[in-house]
């Protein structure tokens, strides 16, 4: 009984946390798709001999991507504070948390995009070139279409990683479900709340994965 | 219509230099089916891919209708490529586009309108015999059907030239025949110039008008297909020709015999009509047994190969051989098996 009462008591908190998570994820996932896909394409084409390779460009982008990816999220979060303040106008709250989340997610997703583009058969690109395609045709009519299910799977993975990162966004008062779990479970030893939020997180992850997998499968005609 | 002048293609990889195509020059006429044969690594693909600049030639020129492709800018080259269709050994279709979508792509690239594209797709599917597959995805098709889609796609922009890179090498013999038949039909109906590369001489025999034999980046021999089959000059050409029209004797007939000789002769259409054997036996003191024989039709013209056993005194045999040499396309003494 006590357990149920405890949970009921925390429902408003959970509710708020859920919307904070939704807010942070939706914006950062959207932005990382918007910017990660072009970046992934650039990583791919800049090292593809048929698509006008530019080794120097590839090395520069690859280096920047690797630097961001090898920085622990908490450090990135702190290091980005001036940038966050400039972009979001604040350095606390979900709105501020979106900035480091997006910055971390873009290179992460870009690498996944690059990976799924690499699965495209070289012959398909040759055929497209032989038909007189421009680079632009190849990007949006060949690469994006042939790699689409890989892009979805990558975005699923990115979303789930962001959910994990967003728990740490509590440091800047980002809030969200993960933050709730840390605050109640880790700092206050409140197991009930911790397990409740954990269950919610697990359900969300399962849901995102299931939706992503289904969509990817549906789009995959290979 | 297509002219290669001193075409050379060199690859540099990991400090090694490979000359895949070495100073090749020849001309392909409008409306003909031109074959390029050679063993693996001979440089066939490299040569073919120079024809639409998928590989940039290291030196030399590629002229199509007097336009030197090696001198074109990127935009001009893309324009020209729309008038050169290409099909591939592994089809290279887009997996996530339907049959219609794959064909449409070629026309989208060429900036055609939606309605024009839709109408043309139907036309092309009828031509290649896939009218009911417009909405199928490549993964739902057989190899032969995929190649038909490849052909439809290559023809979408009504090209002048069709390049075929081992177009039938991934297909079974029945399907190969049907695809070759389709290519021949396209060549006849549309007057399309076809350049195809293959390592199978029987593909050449089936549909080519002229052929070039390639080895180590060089063109060894080039000419009319019937001529090449009838009178191959180079050793390699002979090897290739024999993959199609060879006759093999069983071992026991290769046992040495006194006063006799095995002779392999090949006869052209007009030679086969003369009463040659009769004259041979009447004019010389020899007996001639036909041990083996075969007639192949190449471009509708017969080419016959026989193995004769000539028996008689050496003097007479030599005279008979000289006579054969003169009356046949090729006469060659087959050595007896000399096993101890
Ligand atoms: N992109 C490349 N880089 C380096 N070497 C290459 C490249 N393409 C071909 N070669 C080399 O050039 C030579 C000719 O190759 P090519 O593919 O033209 O031969 P091919 O006659 O088409 O052979 P196959 O019948 O096996 O397709 C080979 O030695 C090959 O290793
Ligand atoms: Mg090849």
* pLDDT tens sequence across B231-263: 888 989 998 988 888 788 888 888 888 888 889
The model's confidence at residue B6, banded by pLDDT at 50, 70 and 90, is very high
Write down the pTM of the prediction.
0.89
Contacts of A146 in chain B (CB under 8 A): 94-96
Answer whether A133 sits within 8 Å of B78, measured CB to CB.
Answer: yes
Would you call A132 and B110 a contact, using CB atoms and an 8 Å cutoff? Answer: yes
Encode pLDDT of B9-18 as tens digits.
999 988 899 9
Q: Does B97 touch chain A (CB under 8 A)?
A: yes
Beta carbons of A141 and B108 less than 8 angstroms apart:
yes
Q: Work out the minimum CA distance from A214 to partner chain B, whole angstroms.
A: 16
Q: Are A92 and A85 in contact (CB under 8 A)?
A: no
Tokens encoding B159: 């090209």
CB-based contact A145 B96, cutoff 8 Å: yes
Residue B338: the pLDDT is 63
* Facing A142 at nearest CB: one of B82, B88, B94: B94
Give the whole-angstrom CA distance, residue B46 versus residue B137: 30
Q: Which of B36, B41, B240 for mutating ligand 1's site (highest number of atoms within 8 Å of CB)?
A: B41
CA distance B7 to B196: 18
- The chain A residue lying nearest B103, using CA atoms, is A131
The reply to whether residue A132 touches residue B80, judged by beta carbons under 8 angstroms, is yes
Distance of CA B339 to the CA centre of its chain: 38
Q: Is B109 in the pocket of ligand 1 (CB under 6 A)?
A: no
List, for residues B151-174, the tens digit of each pLDDT value: 999 999 999 999 999 999 989 999
CA-derived radius of gyration, chain A: 20
> Of A126, A137, A145, which is closest to B109 when you measure between CB atoms?
A137
Flag whether pLDDT at B59 surpasses 70. Answer: yes
Write the pLDDT tens digit of every residue in A11-46: 888 888 889 889 999 999 999 999 999 999 999 999
Nearest to A221 among B52, B109, B139 (CB): B139
Hey, is B79 helix, strand or coil?
Answer: helix
What was the pLDDT predicted at B151? 96
Return the CATH number of the domain spanning residue range A2-219: 1.10.3720.10
Q: Mean pLDDT, to the nearest integer, of B183-195?
A: 94
Distance of CA A193 to the CA centre of its chain: 27
DSSP of B252-275? GGGS--TTEEEEEEEE-HHHHTS-
Q: Which of A207, A77, A149 is nearest to B96 (CA)?
A: A149
User: What is the reported pLDDT for B299?
Assistant: 82
Lowest average pLDDT, out of A83-97, A128-142, B69-83, goes to: A83-97
B199 lines ligand 1 (CB under 6 A): yes
Measured distance CA(A199)–CA(A176) in Å, rounded: 14
Kindly tell me if the per-residue pLDDT of B340 is higher than 50: no
Domain ranges within chain A, ordered by starting residue? 2-219
- Poorest-pLDDT segment among A93-102, B250-259, B314-323: B250-259
CA atoms of B78 and B92, how far apart (whole Å) = 19
- pLDDT surpasses 90 at A176: no
Structure token digits, residue B307: 């193995």
Q: How far is the CA of B137 from the centre of ligand 1 (A)?
A: 31
Q: What is the rounded average pLDDT of the residues A158-168?
A: 90
Contact A142, A206 (CB under 8 A): no
């Amino acid at each position: 009984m006590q357990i149920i009462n405890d949970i009921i008591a925390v429902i408003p908190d959970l509710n708020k946390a859920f919307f904070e998570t939704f807010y942070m994820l939706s914006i950062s996932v959207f932005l990382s798709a918007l910017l990660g896909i072009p970046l992934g394409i650039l990583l791919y084409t800049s090292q593809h001999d048929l698509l006008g390779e530019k080794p120097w460009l590839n090395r520069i982008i690859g280096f920047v991507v690797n630097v961001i990816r090898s920085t622990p999220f908490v450090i990135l979060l702190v290091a980005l504070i001036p940038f966050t303040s400039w972009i979001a106008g604040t350095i606390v709250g979900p709105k501020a948390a979106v900035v480091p989340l997006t910055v971390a997610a873009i290179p992460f997703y870009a690498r996944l995009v690059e990976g799924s583009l690499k699965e495209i058969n070289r012959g398909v690109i040759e055929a497209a070139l032989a038909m007189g395609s421009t680079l632009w045709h190849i990007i949006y009519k060949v690469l994006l279409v042939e790699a689409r299910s890989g892009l979805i799977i990558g975005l699923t993975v990115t979303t789930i990683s962001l959910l994990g990162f967003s728990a740490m966004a509590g440091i800047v008062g980002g809030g969200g479900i993960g933050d709730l779990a840390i605050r109640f479970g880790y700092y206050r030893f409140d197991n009930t709340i911790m397990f409740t939020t954990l269950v919610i997180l697990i359900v969300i992850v399962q849901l995102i994965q299931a939706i992503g997998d289904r969509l990817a499968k549906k789009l995959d005609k290979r | 219509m297509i002219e290669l002048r001193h075409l050379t293609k060199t690859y540099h990889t990991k400090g090694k230099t490979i000359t895949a195509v070495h100073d090749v020059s020849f001309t392909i006429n409008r409306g003909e089916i031109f074959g390029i044969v050679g063993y693996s690594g001979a440089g066939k693909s490299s040569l073919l891919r120079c024809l639409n600049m998928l590989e940039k030639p290291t030196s030399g020129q590629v002229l199509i209708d007097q336009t030197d492709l090696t001198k074109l800018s990127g935009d001009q080259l893309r324009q020209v490529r729309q008038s050169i269709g290409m099909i591939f050994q592994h089809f290279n279709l887009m997996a996530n586009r339907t049959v219609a979508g794959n064909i449409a792509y070629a026309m989208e690239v060429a900036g055609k309108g939606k309605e024009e594209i839709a109408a043309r797709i139907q036309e092309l599917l009828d031509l290649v015999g896939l009218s009911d597959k417009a909405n199928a995805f490549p993964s739902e098709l057989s190899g032969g059907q995929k190649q038909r889609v490849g052909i439809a796609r290559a023809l979408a922009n009504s090209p002048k030239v069709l390049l075929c890179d081992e177009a039938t090498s991934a297909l079974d013999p029945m399907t190969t025949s049907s695809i070759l038949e389709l290519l021949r039909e396209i060549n006849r109906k549309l007057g399309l110039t076809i350049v195809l590369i293959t390592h199978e001489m029987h593909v050449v025999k089936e549909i080519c008008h002229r052929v070039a034999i390639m080895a180590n980046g060089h063109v060894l021999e080039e000419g009319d297909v019937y001529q090449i089959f009838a009178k191959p000059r180079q050793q390699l050409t002979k090897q290739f020709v024999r993959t199609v029209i060879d006759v093999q004797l069983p071992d026991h007939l290769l046992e040495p015999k006194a006063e006799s000789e095995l002779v392999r002769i090949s006869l052209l259409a007009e030679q086969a009509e003369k009463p040659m054997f009769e004259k041979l036996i009447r004019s010389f003191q020899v007996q001639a047994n036909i041990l083996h024989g075969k007639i192949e039709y190449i471009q509708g013209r017969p080419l016959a190969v026989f193995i004769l056993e000539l028996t008689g005194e050496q003097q007479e045999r030599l005279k008979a051989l000289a006579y054969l040499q003169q009356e046949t396309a090729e006469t060659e003494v087959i050595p007896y098996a000399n096993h101890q």
